[in-house]
Structures are given as structure tokens and as C-alpha cells.
Homo-oligomer: A and B are copies of this chain.
């Protein structure tokens, strides 16, 4: 069997090797071979502040999907923020009980480098796991910055986990709220402030003007398994919409942009940046002169 055939038949070791190839940026030929076999998996992005219970929710969603005999892959994206390093380790340990289940694939991805690389690798990893026959690929981001939100948006459906009492100010999002997620989960909804938070999210959504389908707001207590079926149902409704060609085009245009960005920067070796940086620091040349020269060259 070729490597692609091994992956298409779901062989874990072949998948893990391909994942490493993707991280090293050398999987293009393989992914072109796999591409015709993609498009079946539901790609779900999960984002939210540290402590919001994202991992517990992902864990519970995985259990529920496994109960339906679905194969699940989880990509934990950690852009090596100085603030999330601790959390992800704990989260990974919590998820380990799924490791005994060979129909659940779990992989952590981190980078100390530039975000472009992580977005490209995330997209490629979802293509790989889609081709390998996983029904649902969960992309769980660890941090709370714009970058994590962007990575989550590379998914077909994005879920934002909010919790009462953490100062998540959804009203500040205003019109932008429709861009962030399709499913808003009010987690720890047995805690004080849950109703106010839910009301705030709903009011903000009601005021946002958009052509897009109205997001759903779902209450849950992930640690107790409450609301999981409702979250999953909402995710699946939006997953079905993502099969619409215009939504598919939108998702792929975001992914392409990230992939292009990395390809373009790869053409300039680090030494060239450093040498140009030296000239600027010494005021021999100005940055625009250098940029214009480079742009002329390519």
C-alpha cells in the first residue's frame, strides 16, 4: 500500500507520520493525493478564554460522538503564549483517557514561530484527518487572542465557550459578534451571572446586522455532561450549512490566504532579513527602499 492508501484506510502510524511531515512543511505531494478524498469530515473550531472549560467541553463532545460510533480527531493548538503553557499540559493529561480508544486521534500543535505556519499546518492537518476517515475534527485553541480566533475560523463551524463571572464582555463585540462563532456555549451555566451573560449574548446578536444565519446560544455545564447533546445538535445544524458552496468558498479563501502568506515569506531567507535589518538600524537605508527592491525582484 502507498502512504496515501494507508492513510485512507485509517492506519494510525501512517497518519502520525504524515502529521509530522505537515509540521515540517513537507506534505504537499501527499496532501494533493489525499485532497479528492476530503470534504466529508465536520471541522469544528473551539475557542474561549483559559478556564472557560473548553477542554472539558471537547472531552464531553468526544464521548457523545463516540457513543454514536463516530471517529473523532482533536487538534489542540497552542501558539506558545507565555500564559497558556501551564493550561495545555493539564488539559492534555485530562484527555488521556481517550488515548486507549484508537478511534480518537489527539495531537497537540505548538509553535514558537510565526502564526502563518500554524494556520497552514492546522488546515493541512484537518485535510489529512478528513481523508483518514475521521467524522469530526475538533480544532481546540488554547489562548484568547486574535490569532486563536482566526485559527478557529479556519474551521467549518466555530464554537465560542463563555463563562459567567469572568468579565467576558460580549457587548463590546457589537457588530463583529457574527464573525466570531456560530455556536455560543454559556458554560458553567449553573453559576451566578449565567442568565445575564446569555441575555447579553442574545441581545448583542439581535442587534448585529448580517446576511449570515443567526448563531445559536446554548447553555451547558460541561463538567456534569449537561447540555452536551444540545451543543452537538447546534454544531451539526451549522455543519450542514457549511456544505453550502458559498460558505465553503469563504472558509477556503481564508485558508488559502494563510497558506499563501507562508509560501511568500519562505522565499526570503532569515539572513536576508537580518542583513537588511542591520542596514536600517545603521540608517544606511530606509525600510521602504528595501521593501520596494524586494518586491521588484519577485
Residues of A at the B interface (CB closer than 8 Å) are 28, 31-32, 35-36, 39, 49-51, 79-87, 89, 111-112, 114-116, 143-150, 160, 167-173, 176-177, 179-180, 245-246, 248-257, 259-261, 263-265, 268, 270, 273-278, 280-283, 286-291, 294-295, 298
Chain B residues with CB under 8 A of A274:
249-250, 253
Measured CB to CB, the nearest residue on chain B to A243 is B281
A-B contacts, 20 listed (Cβ < 8 Å): A28-B288, A35-B283, A36-B286, A39-B283, A81-B144, A82-B176, A85-B171, A87-B167, A115-B147, A145-B145, A146-B147, A245-B281, A246-B278, A253-B273, A253-B274, A256-B290, A257-B268, A261-B261, A264-B264, A264-B295
A172→B85 contact, CB < 8 A: yes
Chain B residues with CB under 8 A of A248:
277-278, 280-282
Contact among B111, B249, B261, B298 for A298, CB-based, below 8 A? B298
Chain B residues with CB under 8 A of A278:
245-246, 248-249, 252
Chain B residues with CB under 8 A of A143:
144-146
Measured CB to CB, the nearest residue on chain B to A289 is B32
A286→B169 contact, CB < 8 A: no
A287→B252 contact, CB < 8 A: yes
B287→A35 contact, CB < 8 A: yes
B176→A112 contact, CB < 8 A: yes
Contact among B114, B179, B253, B260 for A112, CB-based, below 8 A? B179
Q: CA separation between A286 and B36, bound complex, in Å?
A: 8
CB distance from A242 to the nearest CB of B (A): 9
Chain B residues with CB under 8 A of A50:
167
Q: Which of A144, A255, A263 has the most CB of B within 10 A?
A: A144
B82→A168 contact, CB < 8 A: yes
B146→A89 contact, CB < 8 A: no
Q: CA separation between A82 and B143, bound complex, in Å?
A: 11
